[in-house]
Amino acid sequence: MPVAVDDGSLYIYKKFSPGTGASPMKAFLTKSAMLMALLGGAIACAQRAPVSPQQPWTGMTSLQAPRERSAIVFVPDPAKIYTLPELVNLAEKNNPETRVAWENAKARAADLGVSKASLYPTIAALAVAQTARDNLFFAPKYYRQTIESFSPALELDYTIFDFGRRLHEIAISRNDLLAANFLFNDTHRKVIFQVMAAYYRVLNAKGQEDAAEANLKNAQTVQQAAEARLDLGLATLPDVLEARSAAAQADYDLQAAVGASEIAHGDLDTAMGISPVNPLQVESIQTLTIPQDLAGTVEASIDKALAQRPDLMRRVAELRAAHAEVKEAKSAYLPTLQITGTAGLDKNVSEQDQASGVYSANQEFWSAHLSLTWNLFDGFARESRLARAKADQKQAEAEVDAIRDQVENEVWAAYSTARTALRQQKAAAALLDAASSSYNAALQSYNFGVRSQIDVVSAQRTLAAARTADVSARTQLLTGMAALAFQTGDLLHAKGP
């Protein structure tokens, strides 16, 4: 394609024969302009705010979270009945929060390694190659000379003494790593409790469903008895209608319990880090051992929490890091002694015109420098950094005091809740036993014709409420004991190191 230059401008042209239609170059430029307009519109749309507050933003670009998980997902066996320890172990493997805390701890461990590396010298390999050509004047002529050189070398840089500045930086990194490890443990503690709480909610929902089924059977039994007495002329139609209404209400309560059980199963799957669509079988609330008393006093529980709660230990580690930051800021006022050096081999090759041969020479070289650096004035930057470090230290001390008070209050509340749940469970068990005896006696007396329909329906509803209260009291007690272990930090130590 010929190119013509006119007044510094570049033009592209091509000779066309008549009758060939539009210029291909013109069509190309038109399409390019349209493409640039579309791209420019997309970029402009992405860089603008919504045009009005009345409707949602309809941008051309959208972000979607990937459907694939970054880790292998556990698929439960639908035919297996899982115990609570098994579910806790599976949750610690599959819950993404544990991986987040783990990667954070690994990053802090890498920071500690970087800080420790400052105690060692830095050695770098250098290689410099160059060539130069020049014309040297030796009267009455100029002689062209070409010089080529190649210089491999090693460079050393080492801080001999800095009044503990690097040691304080290592202490900061070490305590940051401790804080990250305690955060990792605290994440496991929270995941364990989330699974336990969700597990007990599933047991409660399943128990309520079983109680609703038993209530429905009792209501149907009362209905059948009323209809049989109506056929014998011993009952009235309102009695039968009342029994049918009680049976319908029991069926309604059963369906609500079934829905609550499905939701509770989904919450448990989410706490474990698996999809809620996977079926999961758990134990029955009736097969679990119910605690009969609380272990230890509330004072002992508070002391235990102050000694092993990972979130409190993390604040203590952060306080120690703040102390190290203050020391590191103070060391900036002191000088630093460093040594630097370079050693290598310099190989030169020289060639001159009108001269015979090529001349080469190898020469060793080295240099060493000992420097003492002392910043006398830096615009009060060190003062500001020291003031910030002291403020962070005071803040960390206040946070430790605050979380200590919070831990004591949480343990006190959890202990009181568990103790109340223990008393309620014993009362609910007695209530269920009395309600069952009352219902059986009322039904038997009704069949003998010495009790009314209202008495039987009332006893049946009291029994239904007693069953619900018994299941709720059992799960509240188990949840309260788990909450107390969560607040004292026993959930981690119960699983072992």
Q: Which of the two residues, 451 and 319, has the higher pLDDT score?
A: 319
140 preceded by a cis bond (ω within 30 of 0):
yes
Whether 353 has a pLDDT exceeding 90, the answer reads no
Least confident of 45-54, 66-75, 270-279, 474-483: 66-75
Q: Mean pLDDT for the chain?
A: 83
CA angle 278, 284, 285 (to 5 degrees): 125
Please state at what angle helix 165-231 crosses helix 84-94, rounded to 10 degrees.
130
Least confident of 23-27, 108-112, 259-263: 23-27
* Residue 237, amino acid: L
Map residue 55 onto helix, strand or coil. Answer: coil
Identify whether the C-beta of residue 291 lies closer than 8 Å to the C-beta of residue 90.
no
Identify whether the C-beta of residue 465 lies closer than 8 Å to the C-beta of residue 438.
no
Q: How many CA atoms lie within 13 A of 133 on its CB side?
A: 3
**And the tokens for 381?**
């930057």
Contacts of 107 (CB under 8 A, 6+ apart): 180
Least confident of 102-116, 350-364, 383-397, 453-467: 350-364
Predicted TM-score of the model (pTM): 0.72
Per-residue pLDDT band at 395 (split at 50, 70, 90):
very high
Whether 44 has a pLDDT exceeding 70, the answer reads no
| 188/194 Cα distance (integer angstroms) | 10
Whether 314 has a pLDDT exceeding 50, the answer reads yes
Look at residue 69 in the predicted model and tell me its pLDDT.
Answer: 56
Determine the distance from the C-alpha atom of residue 104 to the mean position of all C-alpha atoms in its chain, rounded to a whole number: 9
Max mean pLDDT among 2-6, 241-245, 390-394 falls in 390-394
Pairing between strand 81-82 and 9-12?
Answer: unpaired
> 196: closest CA among 421, 422, 425, 491?
491
Give, as one character, the DSSP assignment of residue 19. T
Whether 242 has a pLDDT exceeding 90, the answer reads no
> 228: closest CA among 16, 453, 411, 462?
453
Look at residue 355 in the predicted model and tell me its pLDDT.
Answer: 56
Per-residue pLDDT band at 430 (split at 50, 70, 90):
very high
Pairing between strand 81-82 and 122-138?
Answer: unpaired
Per-residue pLDDT band at 2 (split at 50, 70, 90):
very low
Per-residue pLDDT band at 47 (split at 50, 70, 90):
low
Whether 220 has a pLDDT exceeding 80, the answer reads yes
Identify whether the C-beta of residue 45 lies closer than 8 Å to the C-beta of residue 58.
no
Per-residue CA distances from 326 to 117, 254, 334, 383 (Å): 21, 64, 14, 11
Whether 339 has a pLDDT exceeding 60, the answer reads yes
Q: How many CA atoms lie within 13 A of 240 on its CB side?
A: 14
Look at residue 18 in the predicted model and tell me its pLDDT.
Answer: 43
Map residue 447 onto helix, strand or coil. Answer: helix
Whether 212 has a pLDDT exceeding 50, the answer reads yes
| 415/411 Cα distance (integer angstroms) | 6
| 280/268 Cα distance (integer angstroms) | 9
Instruction: Please state the length of the chain.
Output: 497
Whether 45 has a pLDDT exceeding 60, the answer reads no
